[in-house]
Structures are given as C-alpha cells and as structure tokens.
Structure 1
Amino acid sequence: MLPSLRRLGAAVLLLASTTTAQLQQVTNFGENPTNVQMYVYRPAQVSPNPAIIVAMHYCTGTAQAYYQGTQYARLADSKGFIVIYPDAPDSGGCWDVHSDQTLTHDAGGDSLGIASMVRYALQEYGADPEKVFMAGSSSGAMMTNVLAGAYPDLFKAGSSFSGVPYGCFQGPGMWNSACAQGQLTKSAQEWGDMVRAGYPGYDGPRPRLQMWHGSADTTLSYNNFAEANKQWSNVFGIEQTGEEANTPRPGYTKLIFGDGTQYEAYSAQGVGHNLPDFSVEAVEWFGL
C-alpha cells in the first residue's frame, strides 16, 4: 500500500550501541482503542523523576527496529531518561495520522494509545511531566506533528524527521497522495487553525518543535517542509528571523524562528527521505 515509505525500512542506518538494559513490553497501560503496543527502555541508572522520550518508527518499522537504529537508548544510559518505543498496529507498520479520531484530543486512534503510554509512565515511573518529549522518522515524524496538535498538554518538545504538517494526511485512508506529493498548500492561518482544532479550547503552552527535511525527498515532498514552517510559525505567533548555513553539518541550513526557543527547522540540501540519525541533536533540543 505504501511502497515508497516501505523502502525506508531497508535503508535505515543501524547506529545502536551496546546498552546496559533491555527493551521491555508493557501491557494494560490504559485506553488503547487501536491496540498500539508499548515497549520501554529503562536504563540501569534512572534519574530521579526522569524525563521521557517517545521515539516513533517509520513505515515498515517496529519498536525494536527504532530501538536498534537510533541512539536514544544509548543516550538514556548516560543521561538517565526513559524511552518509550510505540509499535504501530497497522499491518504495514505505518501510523494512523489521517483519521479524525487520531487528530483530536482523547478521541481515539493511534495517538490516544501513545498518550496513554505517557500517562502510564508518568504515574508508574515517577517521571517528570515537565520533561516529556517525542521524536519520529517519516510516519513517526507525522505522528510527532499529530501529537503536538492533539496532545500539547502532554509534550514539552518534539523533533520531526522527514514528516508533513499536522492534518496534512487527513482523509479516509492511510495514504494521502496529494500531501505526500506536496500538492497541499494552505495559508499559515489555515494550517494553524487545523492545529488549534486538534484540542478545542486548549489555551496552554505548545510543545517546542524542531523540523528536519531533505530537499531531495521524493517520498514526502520537500514542499511539506515549507508548509510545516508556515503552520507552526502561525501556531507560535512568530516569523522566521534568520538562518545559519552549514549547521549542524555541511549542506544543512538551520532556519531560526522568533528567538529560536520555540521552533527551528533544518533544510538538508540534496538529501533524500532517509535522513541520517540526529538523535543527539534532538536530545540537545529537548534540553537533556
């Protein structure tokens, strides 16, 4: 059903280092209408009132693959935070980022299952509610945007790698060709209104966000990068104020919005859908 995204699974760079603990499955963690599975990495030395990172895999991926293919668990060993690796119930390993339920606070879909994982971890592990973060690649990046819109009360910051704006995949099916091909263009106000509709009446703080996208992405068009920037700058009420070339590496340009504390975006010149692993940069953005 999603052949272009499925190629990502074979191309993910495996960067996992030896860790001191194991990935453990947790069941009966709360409301979970679509049967998302929960896996948790708790390092041998967990900090008091630890931070939580929810790390979400790509299409065809699994919790185990994302655990092995990213550096969050290794970083947890040195920093003492907990990592939740959700596992998508879809047969193709993709996340529901399209249904009205998943796009709406506590209405259902995969997003509610993930929100329940966070709520469970806050209660069972004594985690710090001011230090709950999220990161994802491809379909997991899309879910990062969905959670930022539907559950801004739970998350403090997020990093999205090769995703699309919140609500861009909205529709009857798992795949939205118009969005994927970069054909959906809206005003900043229209995109922002979609986010605000994800949690009607919410007037609290929004998660700080970091976006990454390659200019040569043929799976999820680079046009989605510009649309996401329009969306979230509207939500935060800020404009682009500058940029830094060759940051954090040659060929990457960091776009700065406002004072740089709420939203930033990275354009990767000539890079396709399969971005390198930037777990370290994401954890730095989270302030861990």
Structure 2
Amino acid sequence: MSRRSLSPLTRAYARNLKALTKATKATLGSGNRIARRVRSAAASQLKPPPGRGDWIAGAALGPAGARRYHLYRPPALELQPGEKLPLMVMLHGCGQTGRDFAVSTRMNRIADRERFLVLYPEQDRLANAQGCWNWYERRSGKADAEAATLMAAIDQVLLLYPADRERVAIAGLSAGASMAALLATRYPARFKAIAMHSGVAPGAAKSPATALGAMRGQHVPPMPATAVGKAMGAAAVFTTLPPLLVLHGDADSVVSASNAVSTATVWAVATGAKPGAARLQQRGKRHPMRITDYTRGGRTAVTLCEIAGLGHAWSGGAASMHFSDAAGPDASKLVWAFAARQFRETAPRS
C-alpha cells in the first residue's frame, strides 16, 4: 500500500508512533547515561583517595543515629611500644563527602610526612539532603545529638586505633567548620585545637531560619563574656576553650566574610584574649592574607587569617575539586602547623 493511499488518521497515527519510538529510545539512552554516571560516581566514592596509606571504613552509633566515617592511616607505621599518634578530625562542607574532602584538602599527604591519623566523618543524606552538618538545629536538639554522634565516632577511633586522646584537633569547612565549633564548645576539654574555614560565628544561629541570616553576617552573639559563654554553650569561659584558627576569604559569597572577625571576637571574649597588630603575608603568587593573633598571658587563643580574593573554598586545595581554590595559601599546612604547636605547648613536661 502506497503512502498516498493511507487515510489522514492512519498517517497521523504512524507519525505519532514514529515520534514515540524515537522519544522512547532517547529516554532509554538518557536513562542509561544517567545510570552509568551514577555507577561511576558511586565507584569513585568507594575508591580510596590518593595516598599510600590505609583508607579504613567504619561507622559509629549515637543519639543522631549512625554515621559513616573513614580513617586515614599513614603507610608503614612502625610504632614504638605504647606509642600513640595525634588525631586530626576533618569535617566536610555541604555537597561534599569525606572522600571529597580528603582529595580537596590533601591532608593525608601531611599525615604521611608528620605521622598522624586523619578521621573523616560523613553526613548521612537522610539526615540532611545536601550533606550539611546540622550545626544550626539547636532549638530542636538535633545539633547536639549530631555533635554527640560525632564524638562517638571519635571515641570509637580512639578505642580501636593507636590515637592519642590528649592530641586531638578538629577542622572543618563551611557547615563542617560550624559543626567543629559546636563540638569544641560542647566538649572543650576533648580538643587541643580547632580550625574553622569559611564558617559561621559560634552562637549565631539556632534554627534553619536564623542560619540563613547568620550566613549573611547577621545574628552575631553579644560580646560580654558571660553572654558569649551562654550563646556558645561552652562548659566554661576563660580557661577551657581550645585555641582557634579562623580562615576565611574576603570574596566569599556564600558565608559572609564578616563571620571571620565575629568568630575571632567571640572566641577572644570567651577566653579573655586581646588582639595584636595585624600582619600581611604572601607566599609567591598565592593569595595574600592578613593575620591577627589574639593572646592572653603570652598564649595565642585565636589566630585570624583573612585571605584576599578567596571565595567559598578550601584555600590551597586541589584545583580539580569543588569548593577548592589552588591559588590560596595552603590551609592544610596552616591547620596542621597550628594544631602541632598546641600539641607541643600542652604536652606534659618530663
């Protein structure tokens, strides 16, 4: 039967059938491509990050449920009898995984050289669809439950591996930085140092609504020491809070750079520290930074690093990763140097 002899209705049906077949093939092809991408993404997350050490998977149970983690252990460790290693806890930001954060920060390379363990807890997407730590859910109690669950992960690592509970430091990016601050204020005696990179000032938010304002630089806590201690939920002020390193880019469009000064000021008030003169520092062609130390009794309570031209990204991180700026000062080196100094200064004298 020739095409001319077909009725208009039959020809319309044939056209629609052809279009449907074509669309079905396109949809199936698109679905297959999406499935391949999902499988590839899942496989990449299961693959250990670059490094010669061990990438050990684990999970801890706490008030907020279970949280996965990975522990990085440097290669060929030959420990002396009874020897234990420092532990660096690294909290990723929104939209990241523990593996992403390890690749971006390259903290494992420093661990290889300096001989310490690195713990990468990971937020569950059922707890937060964007993978953010719920640092701001204080009114509901969700933040405290999550902090307690992270402490359970830290305690589990201290129990199972040769980690020194007297030499634990914690660092985080963005939501991870704010959760690190919450942990340090809830459990101040458990950490010898804390580093906040591009985070919100402690005590600036208690709910999702106030968190958005805090990210814009609003809701800064009051300055009197007693009020700051209450807002932060610290066990005490003047004596217990661990030294703090603050890193923030002045071109951050996600978390206002004003949070950096607010964070340093709040921590300084809570510890009775006073700011010294700011100094400028630049290495090669990397972004310059302005550094201000807040001290009390000759000891540094806060170091504030304001980085010129840096957006919402880990300074000096791997160029291939999101939320990572290779042109900035090496934040991982700065974080470890800050923590190592606190370990030395608080070590028992023989």
Task: Give the TM-score, by structure 1 length.
Answer: 0.84
Deviation of the 1:94 alpha carbon: 0.4
Aligned to 1:255: 292
Unmatched segments (≥5 aa) in structure 1 = 1-15
Q: Structure 1 residues 252-261 or 207-216, which shifts more? A: 252-261
Aligned to 2:277: 242
Task: Give the TM-score, by structure 2 length.
Answer: 0.70
Aligned to 1:44: 75
- How far apart, CA to CA, are the structure 1 residues paired with 2:253 and 2:195? 21
For 1:21-79, what per-residue CA distance to the aligned partner results, in whole angstroms no more than 9, with x for missing partners?
A: 2322113x342523321211111234530110111111000011111111211111122
For 1:140-180, what per-residue CA distance to the aligned partner results, in whole angstroms no more than 9, with x for missing partners?
A: 11112111111112111011110011232311x38722101
The count of aligned residue pairs is: 265
Please state if 1:56 is matched with 2:94. Answer: no
1:1-288 pair list within 5 angstroms: 18-27=50-59, 29-46=60-77, 47=79, 48-89=83-124, 90-100=128-138, 101=141, 104=144, 108=145, 110-171=146-207, 173=208, 176-189=211-224, 190-195=227-232, 197-199=233-235, 205-246=240-281, 251-258=288-295, 259=298, 261-277=300-316, 278-287=331-340
Query: In 2 relative to 1, CA 58–134 (structure 1 residues): closer, same or farther, beyond 3 Å?
Result: same
- How far apart, CA to CA, are the structure 2 residues paired with 1:157 and 1:204? 14
For 1:216-270, what per-residue CA distance to the aligned partner results, in whole angstroms no more than 9, with x for missing partners?
A: 2111111211211221001111110221112566521001111452211001123
Q: Is the 8 A contact 1:145 1:164 kept in 2?
A: no
Q: Structure 1 residues 185-194 or 139-148, which shifts more? A: 185-194
RMSD (Å) for aligned C-alpha atoms: 2.4
Please state which structure has a larger fraction of its residues in helix: 2
Q: Is the 8 A contact 2:247 2:306 kept in 1?
A: yes
Q: Structure 1 residues 146-155 or 240-249, which shifts more? A: 240-249
> Percentage identity across aligned positions?
23
Ranges of 4+ aligned residues in structure 1 off by more than 4 Å: 201-204, 247-250
Aligned to 2:36: none
- How far apart, CA to CA, are the structure 1 residues paired with 2:176 and 2:246? 13
- How far apart, CA to CA, are the structure 1 residues paired with 2:311 and 2:256? 10
Q: Is the 8 A contact 1:103 1:149 kept in 2?
A: no
Q: Give the AA of the match of 1:91.
A: A
Q: Is the 8 A contact 1:242 1:257 kept in 2?
A: no
Q: Give the AA of the match of 2:254.
A: T
- How far apart, CA to CA, are the structure 2 residues paired with 1:229 and 1:284? 19
Query: In 2 relative to 1, CA 155–44 (structure 1 residues): closer, same or farther, beyond 3 Å?
Result: same
Q: Is the 8 A contact 2:204 2:218 kept in 1?
A: no
